Amino acid sequence: MKFKDKIIWITGAASGIGEALAYKSVEYGGKLILSDIDEPGLAKVVSACESSGASVLNLPFDLSSGESIEKAVLRVMEHFGRVDVLINNGGISQRSLTWETPLEVDYKIMHINFFGAVLLTKAVLPYMMEQGGGYIAATSSITGKFGFPLRSAYAASKHATQGFFETLGIELAGRNISVTIAMPGRVQTNISMHALTREGTPHGKMDPGQATGISADLCARKYLDAVYKKKHEVLIGGKELMMVHIRRFLPSLFYRLAGRIKPE
């Protein structure tokens, strides 16, 4: 019961890693705030958590809307009065070539993946500082460490996430608020199904690599354990994580390997 009676707010909780984080948080004894723009999907996850005996606030909202985020924070404070663990997990991926992607798609991905997490964190942080401590986490990706074909805006949003939350963690040193950046690789979720194409519509296909990744349950356990241990960063996945180290120590090899990937 690592987070017994802690108030845990998870965005992107209707499916994938967020859904798995919700179930694992119940196992760890938390009281939950679950958010997503997918209201029917979110309702199913909320129901499953409540059937396990958890106290859950069902709070759908749009991460791309500042007004929606502000209202959500006020609702949380009215209901629980505090947030002990904030997990910025909501986001969307991409499957389109850079030069074929309209700027509005780039903007949408940045607004949801980066600015949504920044706005929510900045809205919650004053309460967390006033209560004397807490945990903040952000879901980045291994593409937060390197570029990857068909994911220019997605990689950019995750690079930005890395920079913002790493800086925040340094600034919060000594204030009893830890910041953890999770960098998943291939995880068995539907993220590629919902990834945006150049038309701004769902990709609708499961990537082969995604289908053979680690389970979302294992990802969630490693994620929450890293948050509990107040780790600054955690890489989560399988052999694909080697690309992070290859990019860092053998950049020429990285570019050769990445160049072999054929855009679909």
What sign has the CA pseudo-torsion 179, 34, 45, 6? positive
- Separation in Å, CA 231 to CA 38, 91, 140, 189: 30, 22, 14, 24
Burial string for 5-30 (b: 16+ CB within 10 Å, else e) reads ebbbbbbbbbbbbbbbbbbbbbebeb
CB contact at 8 A, 18 and 88? no
Q: Which residues does the annotation mark as catalytic?
A: 154
In this structure, which amino acid lies at residue 78?
E
Q: Position of tokens 């949801």?
A: 112
CB contact at 8 A, 129 and 57? no
Query: What is the chain's Cα-based Rg?
Result: 18
In this structure, which amino acid lies at residue 218?
L
Strand partners, 58: 34
Measured at the CA of 136, the angle between CA 68 and CA 155, to 5 degrees, comes to 75
